[in-house]
Chain A
C-alpha cells in the first residue's frame, strides 16, 4: 500500500463552483500534513499546512481526520487560476516528505 494515496481526478468544474477531494495516508504516526500545488511543468509550491482542528486560507479549507487517516482540501468559489495539480504531503518522520501522486483540478470558464 502506498504511503499517500489520492484520487487523480481530473475534477472539471465551472468557475465559481466548490470542489473538494481527499487524500489517505497509511502511517498512523504521521504528524505533519500539507497541501502543495503544482502547475504544469513547474515546481511544487506549498499551498497550506493542515492542522488538527482544520484551517482556512481564503477560499481554501483543509481538514484532517486522524481516526480515518485522511486529509481533505476544499476550494470554494473556484477561479480559473486554481487549475493545477494538488499534491497531498505527509511527513511520517522529521524530514521525509511523502507525496501523493496529485489530484488534477481544471476550472473552466
Chain B
C-alpha cells in the first residue's frame, strides 16, 4: 500500500536556480498539503489543495514560491529563484477530506548553496 510519494528525496542546488518538488498523494485522498520544516520555525503549512483547487496559500512565503495540482494524483512546489534561506525539509501530506487524518510523505531535503 503506497503512501505519499515525494521526489526527489534530496536536492542540492545553487542560489538562483529553479527547484521543483513533486508529490503523489495517496490514491483516493482529495486534500493535499505542502509543509516546510526548519529548526528555527518548525513545521509550517505552505499551501492546501482540496479537490485539486488551492484553498489556502497564505503560508507561501513569497512570490518565488508557486504550487500546482494539475490532477488528483500529482502536485508540484516550485521555487524560482531559490535562495539559501529556502533550505529546509519540504513535506507533502494528503488526507481524505479536509479534516481527515493527514499522512505525510518522506519529505524532500533541500539545500540551496
Contacts and interface: CB of A to CB of B under 8 A. Distances in A.
* A-B interaction: yes
Interface stretch (B20-28, B76-84, B97-105): B97-105
A15 B33 CA distance: 36
A43 B42 contact: no
A95 B31 CA distance: 9
Interface string A85-105: 001000100111101111000
A99 B43 contact: yes
B104 A96 contact: no
Contact of B42 (A32, A94, A100): A100
Contacts of B55: 95
Given A43-B91, A46-B101, A96 B106 contact: no
Contacts of B42: 99-102
Contact of A96 (B56, B101, B109): B56
Contacts of A91: 99
In this complex, the member of A41, A87, A95 whose beta carbon has the largest number of chain B beta carbons within 10 angstroms is A95
In this complex, the member of B50, B98, B104, B106 whose beta carbon has the largest number of chain A beta carbons within 10 angstroms is B104
A44 B101 CA distance: 12
Q: How large is the interface on B (under 10, 10 to 19, 20 to 34, 35 or more residues)?
A: 20 to 34
B34 interface: no
Given A43-B91, A43-B104, A96 B45 contact: yes
Interface of B: 31, 33, 42-45, 48, 50, 55-56, 91, 98-99, 101-102, 104-107, 109
29 contacts: A32-B99, A41-B109, A42-B106, A42-B107, A43-B91, A43-B104, A43-B105, A43-B106, A43-B107, A44-B43, A44-B91, A44-B104, A45-B104, A46-B101, A46-B102, A87-B43, A91-B99, A94-B98, A94-B99, A95-B31, A95-B50, A95-B55, A95-B56, A95-B98, A95-B99, A97-B45, A99-B43, A99-B44, A102-B42
